[in-house]
Amino acid sequence: MSGRRRFAGWLGVFALLPGAESGFSAPPTADALVPSGGQAGTEVPLLTVVGKMDPWPCQAWCSNPEVKFSPGEKAGQFKVSIGKGAKVGPCLVWIHNAEGASEPRTFVVTQLREIIEDETANENPAQAISVGALPVVVNGRLDKSQDFDAWKVSLKKSQTLLARLDGYALRSGIDPFLHLYDSRGVRLVLESDGPTNLDPRMEFTAEADDDYVVGVMAIDHPPSTSVSFSGSAKGAYRLTLAIGDLKEDTAGVGDGEAPGPDSLPPGAAAASVPLSGFGTLEKAGEADRVLFSAKKGSNLLIELDAVDHGFPTDPVLILEKPDGSVIREVDDDKASRDASYVFKVPADGEYVCRITDRFGRGGKAIRYFLRISEESQDFTVSSEQLGMVVKAGESVQWKVKIERQGGHAVALVATAKGLPSGVTAEPLKLDGKTNEGTLEIKCGKEAAAFSGPIQIEVKEDGGRAGLLRPAAYSFQNADARGPYLIDQVNDLWLTVTVPAPKASPEAKK
């Protein structure tokens, strides 16, 4: 699918560890970062990594090179320095030692003031902690059963509060809820799922000057046998609060590409291909009909998007002949609730894309983006492994899979980039009909210990110059219910372990 990809790319430099194995029994684990973000140009004096890191210290590597982690005295604690020029947005953090690395965790850089939940009780509206002036980002954690966090916000009459909670999107294992109470304790708003995933959004216009309370609760995700509100050590969240507007270039998070004005349906006349534009299903049960002309033999990629633009719509694409007979109906694709279809045009003529919402909803928010274009020959590459460990003198097999589009049948070659000294990989060649293979990573006996990111790149072998695709590992799986802040990563982790030096005869004595 087209549109913004929630993707962490190569931004940093790898870290070298001491040359000898130091007796670590296992790689560290990281279930959450608390806090899970910070303001550019500031320091986070204490960030706690929830997980197992024994013995200590471990090291941390961040895909944003302006975000530096320094281990503290106690296990799991780091000081974080965020450069003033740090790129705003989510990045990934690996905790690593000589034995390997944790699964990476998301850290968000903003240009907003940030506060961190402490031990002060705030378990009901009467105990709500004031967040001060807006905008602000609250870093909290729902860490016990039935946990409830209460945050006080002062609003003037007619001010509009925007609240965005990210917990599911951090892969924190929660399905969160937002509540809003007035100063009397009356609940005014309850929000659950947002427009693109399980994280809620809230928009509230105050009818009177008052101190309002934003409450945060959650249930488990994936769901457990209990339907009660829950919490766990990894239940970190970020609550972004603002008045009137919340911009991604300062908040570091957003719900997709900024939408434009409506240009669809185009009217009675058939539109020519390529075409694209936004539309709105303004009334419940409404269907928009987009008429277009096409030539026999064309392979047209029809994409109907909502998630990429932050719309709550669950779009359904119905491809028809002008007389209304259905050629194909498409609902969700593999990755999201958006719809796509490759239409092999059987004859010159006019065709119709009929667009509806799966639940028959209508209104100004029920929007969509339609694109019809000639399908191009292309490919994407996925890695089955997020990271691997290789011993000095041995090798590992790194498996990659190719997904070809538009009849792509050109031979490909895969290469590994960023390998440390003493580690090599012969290019992997794949013919035009082969869609998977393994790249052998060989480690020499004299290689030094290493723990850091590498990349696997795939390009056409003798084909189009400059067409290169990185192998990406995806965090999306069967449990996913919409996008995370980062869905995939092309920094893959390699650890080289070396034997401990033999003790000298004198040492044995």
Model pTM?
A: 0.88
Mean pLDDT lowest among 13-27, 267-281, 363-377:
13-27
Per the CB < 8 A criterion, the answer to whether 108 and 165 are in contact is: no
Average pLDDT value for residue range 230-237: 89
pLDDT tens digits for range 453-477:
999 999 999 877 778 999 999 999 9
Per the CB < 8 A criterion, the answer to whether 395 and 419 are in contact is: no
CATH of domain 114-251: 2.60.120.380
Residue 323: band (very low, low, confident or very high) from pLDDT cuts 50, 70, 90: confident
Give ranges for CATH 2.60.120.380 in the chain.
Answer: 114-251, 275-374
- Averaged confidence pLDDT in the chain: 91
d(C-alpha 439, C-alpha 502), whole Å: 33
Based on the number of CB atoms within 10 Å of its own CB, is 445 exposed (0-12), middle (13-18) or buried (19 or more)? exposed
Average pLDDT value for residue range 37-61: 97
Classify strands 450-460 and 428-430 as parallel, antiparallel or unpaired.
Answer: unpaired
Q: Residue 154: is its pLDDT beyond 50?
A: yes
3-state class percentages of the chain: helix first, strand second, coil last, to nearest 5:
5, 45, 50
- pLDDT value of residue 398: 97
Instruction: Please report how many Cα atoms fall inside a 13 Å half-sphere around the Cα of residue 465, on the Cβ side.
Output: 0
- pLDDT value of residue 16: 35
Classify strands 149-155 and 129-130 as parallel, antiparallel or unpaired.
Answer: parallel
275-374: CATH architecture = Sandwich (2.60)
What share of the chain has pLDDT > 70, as a percent?
92
Residue 245: band (very low, low, confident or very high) from pLDDT cuts 50, 70, 90: confident
Per the CB < 8 A criterion, the answer to whether 423 and 443 are in contact is: yes
Alpha helix (H) residue ranges in 183-262: 248-251
Q: Residue 269: is its pLDDT beyond 90?
A: no
- pLDDT value of residue 230: 80
d(C-alpha 51, C-alpha 238), whole Å: 19
Q: Residue 261: is its pLDDT beyond 80?
A: yes
Per the CB < 8 A criterion, the answer to whether 383 and 471 are in contact is: yes
Helix (H, G, I), strand (E, B) or coil at 169: helix
d(C-alpha 355, C-alpha 263), whole Å: 14
Q: Residue 14: is its pLDDT beyond 60?
A: no
- pLDDT value of residue 504: 58
Per the CB < 8 A criterion, the answer to whether 368 and 318 are in contact is: no
Per the CB < 8 A criterion, the answer to whether 345 and 327 are in contact is: no
With vertex at residue 25, the alpha carbon angle to CA 24 and CA 30, rounded to the nearest 5 degrees, is: 85
- pLDDT value of residue 8: 55
- pLDDT value of residue 438: 97
Per the CB < 8 A criterion, the answer to whether 288 and 144 are in contact is: no
Give ranges for CATH 2.60.40.10 in the chain.
Answer: 378-497
- pLDDT value of residue 506: 61
**Residues, the chain, total?**
509
CATH of domain 378-497: 2.60.40.10
- Return the structure tokens found at 43: 């320091």
Helix (H, G, I), strand (E, B) or coil at 507: helix
Average pLDDT value for residue range 314-336: 90
Average pLDDT value for residue range 253-281: 86
pLDDT tens digits for range 81-140:
999 999 999 999 999 999 999 999 999 999 999 999 998 899 999 999 999 999 999 999
Give the E-state strand segments of 63-131 in sequence order: 67-71, 77-82, 89-97, 100-101, 105-110, 114-116, 129-130
Average pLDDT value for residue range 26-34: 96
Q: Which residue is it, tokens 């279930």?
A: 31
d(C-alpha 85, C-alpha 307), whole Å: 30
pLDDT tens digits for range 404-443:
999 999 999 999 999 999 999 999 999 999 999 999 999 9
Per the CB < 8 A criterion, the answer to whether 178 and 200 are in contact is: yes
